[in-house]
Chains A and B, each alone.
Chain A
Amino acid sequence: MNHVNHLNPLAQLPVLGVGINYQKSYAGFLSRHSHLVDFLEFNPDALCSWQEQAGHWQLRRNPVLFGNFLHIRQKLPVTVHGLSLSIGSASGWNDSYLPLLDEMQMEVKFPWHSEHLGFLDVRTPEGEYLHAGTQLPMPFTTEALELLVPRVRQIIARYQLPFLLENTTYYLPGMAAEGMDEVDFLNALCEQSGPKCGLLLDLYNFYCNAVNFGFDPYQALEKLDMARVVEIHIAGGSQHKGFHLDVHSNHTPEPVWELLQWVLARAPNVKALVYELLEQALDAVTEKGVCQNLERARACWQESREKTHLPDTRIHRKKMAESI
Chain B
Amino acid sequence: MSLRDWQAALLKILPNPEQTSHVLEQQTGQLTRRERDHLTGLSLSTGLDVTRDVQIWWRQARLQIAIPFSMRLIQRLELQKIVAQYQKRPCTTLFFLREAQAFSEFIQENPEAPTLLRDMVQFECALHMARLRQAGAGSHPTQEFSPSDTLELPLTYCPEDCMTALLQNTPLPGSSPDGVTIQMNSHWPRLWRRVR
**Chain A residues close to B by CB (< 8 Å):** 45, 49-53, 59-60, 62-65, 67, 83-84, 89-91, 119-122, 124-125, 128-134, 136, 139, 141, 143-144, 147, 170-174, 212, 240-243, 245, 280
Chain A residue contacts of B3, Cβ below 8 A: 90, 139, 141, 143-144, 147
Of the A-B pairs whose beta carbons lie under 8 Å apart in the complex, a sample of 19, sorted by A's number, is: A49-B135, A50-B97, A63-B138, A89-B7, A91-B4, A121-B11, A122-B8, A130-B12, A131-B90, A131-B91, A131-B93, A132-B55, A132-B91, A143-B3, A172-B51, A173-B45, A174-B41, A174-B42, A243-B46
Please tell me the size bucket of the interface on B.
35 or more
In the complex, the chain A residue whose C-beta lies closest to that of B47 is A171
**Chain B residues close to A by CB (< 8 Å):** 2-4, 6-8, 10-12, 14, 38, 41-42, 45-51, 53-55, 58-59, 61, 90-95, 97-98, 132-133, 135-136, 138-139
In the complex, the chain B residue whose C-beta lies closest to that of A91 is B4
What's the minimum C-beta distance from A122 to chain B, rounded to whole angstroms? 4
* Pick from B51, B91, B94: contact of A84, CB under 8 Å: B94
* Pick from B6, B8, B50, B97: contact of A240, CB under 8 Å: B50
Chain A residue contacts of B14, Cβ below 8 A: 132
A52–B136 alpha-carbon span in the complex (Å): 7
What's the minimum C-beta distance from A125 to chain B, rounded to whole angstroms? 7
A139–B4 alpha-carbon span in the complex (Å): 11
Majority secondary structure of chain B interface residues (helix, strand, loop or mixed): helix
Q: Contacts A49-B135, A133-B55; is A243 near B47 (CB within 8 Å)?
A: yes
A45–B12 alpha-carbon span in the complex (Å): 25
Chain A residue contacts of B38, Cβ below 8 A: 174
Q: Report the 3 A-B pairs with minimum CB-CB distance, sorted nearest first.
A: A51-B136, A90-B4, A130-B11
Instruction: State whether B12 touches A133 (Cβ < 8 A).
Output: no
Instruction: State whether A242 touches B55 (Cβ < 8 A).
Output: no
What's the minimum C-beta distance from B106 to chain A, rounded to whole angstroms? 15
